[in-house]
Structure 1
Amino acid sequence: MIITKIEPQKNKDRVNIYIDDKFAFGITKEIQYKYNLAENMEIDEKYIEKVLIEEEQSKCNNFALRFLGYRQRSEKEIVDRLQKKGFKPYIIDNTLDYLKDYGLINDLEFARSFMRDKIHINKHGPKRIRYDLYKKGISQAIIDKVLDEDDGEYDRALKLAQKKLPSYREDNRAARYRKLGGFLQRRGYSADCIYRVLNKLIK
């Protein structure tokens, strides 16, 4: 088999490869140069396979980088997205290694950042944060570690409850106790914390 033509695509970083006067595949110029592909070059199936695997790997790496460009991601989020795009398992594994080599995947730092956002923006408690991190594929050890670093649960729950309590002013004590407790529970605060807050605010 002979490469009979190499033509540029509209995307200046890519070219089309023709073999025996028929279009064969498109690749990046970087891969073309890496594999020394040129017109009139003789090429076999094994070499083509190597080139196409390299092209697929490049696509997967670049897609993952774009996916990370929007916000920090957990490893599971990246894997799930790449699987959804149809990349093969060994290609995904190589991409994960590539991202880790550049420090772009770090579940511990992701979990810390996620917890900060949920605390300061959503006012969530540790039980809710634990559940959400679990869904993101974060290991139990990392979840335990980051939650142990947070010692402000009671103060946050108290402020949240103080802000919410006036909306129950028409209710009797039992109803206020039940409604405020349910509100804090839905936000993910622990039973012990809720008990302390309720006993402080509802006399």
Structure 2
Amino acid sequence: MPVVTALRATRRRGVALHVDDEYVCVISESLVARWRLFKGRELTDDDLAAVRAAASAERVMGDAYRLLGHRARSREELRRRLLAKDHDEAAVSEALERLTADGLLDDAAFARGYAADKRRLAGWGEERIRRGLRQLGVAPHDIDDALRGAGEDDELDRALAVLRKRGAPEPPLEAARRRAFQALERRGYSTSVAFAAVRIWSEDPSARPN
């Protein structure tokens, strides 16, 4: 039967578990207490497997909390980041379910916040926002909900704001219009919105900066 042969404190407030004189994994002090681990404690194979699984779950949750502490993320983006850290896929799936149940992962809320930030801070159009959310693995219905209610007039206003920051068009006018149109397309504005914004910007003095 496996026997705990050492419990050594680590620099990161963890405890290195050694069984039968072999390193097993790093666990938290709370896990040590929960399993009543001490030098000489005998463990069944099932006990040892359960301790390993609990330690894996702790590491996954710790990394998940750190990643979410930096900024909001979609469920799929967080899954990819955790798997990239070589966490066990089953442990990652369990962590995602727990975070979702706790309200810390919510793709619908994430999509709304992402869309609002990209409109306001980056001046993105709806198509680029849609592409960005798709790349982050957000479900189509959550994307549609996040973009619902943003009419073409609102998008035209944002496109004009982007162009106003460029200043008045410089001659030759056609070249300036073409560059402005391409800039709006890169930001994800529809052809109709980009065309209308460029026309107003280039022809209406009130659309230009004073």
For the criterion TM > 0.5, the same-fold answer is: yes
Q: Is the 8 A contact 2:2 2:45 kept in 1?
A: no
Give the CA deviation at 1:68. Answer: 0.8
1:19 maps to what in 2? 19
What letter is aligned with 1:162? R
Give 3-state SS (helix, strand or coil) of 2:124's partner: coil
Match of 1:162 in 2: 164
- Note if contact 1:6-1:15 (Cα within 8 Å) is conserved in structure 2: no
Aligned structure 1 segments of 4 or more residues deviating by more than 4 angstroms: none
Give the whole-Å Cα distance in 2 for the aligned partners of 1:23 and 1:29. 19
Find the counterpart in structure 1 of residue 208 from structure 2. Answer: none
Q: Which residue of 2 aligns with 1:68?
A: 68
Root-mean-square deviation over aligned CA pairs: 2.0
SS in structure 2 of the partner of residue 121 of structure 1: helix
Q: Residue by residue, what CA displacement relative to the aligned partner does 1:87-138 show, whole Å, maximum 9, x if unpaired?
A: 1211111000111121110111111111122111111111111111111111
1:141 corresponds to which residue?
141
Normalised by the size of structure 2, how large is the TM-score?
0.85
Using the TM superposition, give the Cα deviation of residue 4 of structure 1 relative to its aligned residue in structure 2, in angstroms.
5.2
| 1:176 maps onto 2:176 in alignment | yes
Same amino acid, percent of matched pairs? 25
Cα deviation, residue 2, structure 1: 5.5
Deviates more, 1:120-129 or 1:192-201: 192-201
Following the alignment from structure 1 to structure 2, what is the Cα–Cα distance between the partners of residues 12 and 131?
40
The offset of 1:11, in angstroms, is 4.0
Q: Determine the structure 2 residue equivalent to 1:44.
A: 44
TM-score (norm 1): 0.88
CA–CA separation in structure 2 for the residues paired with 1:100 and 1:127: 28
The one-letter amino acid paired with 2:119 is: I
Amino acid at match of 2:65: L
Would you say how many aligned residue pairs link Structure 1 and Structure 2?
200
1:56-135 aligned at under 5 Å gives the runs 56-135=56-135
Partners of 1:124 and 1:200 in 2: how far apart? 19
Partners of 1:136 and 1:52 in 2: CA distance: 31
Deviation readout 1:129-167 (Å, 9 max, x if unpaired): 11111111111111111111323211111222233252x
Counterpart check, 1:200 vs 2:200? yes
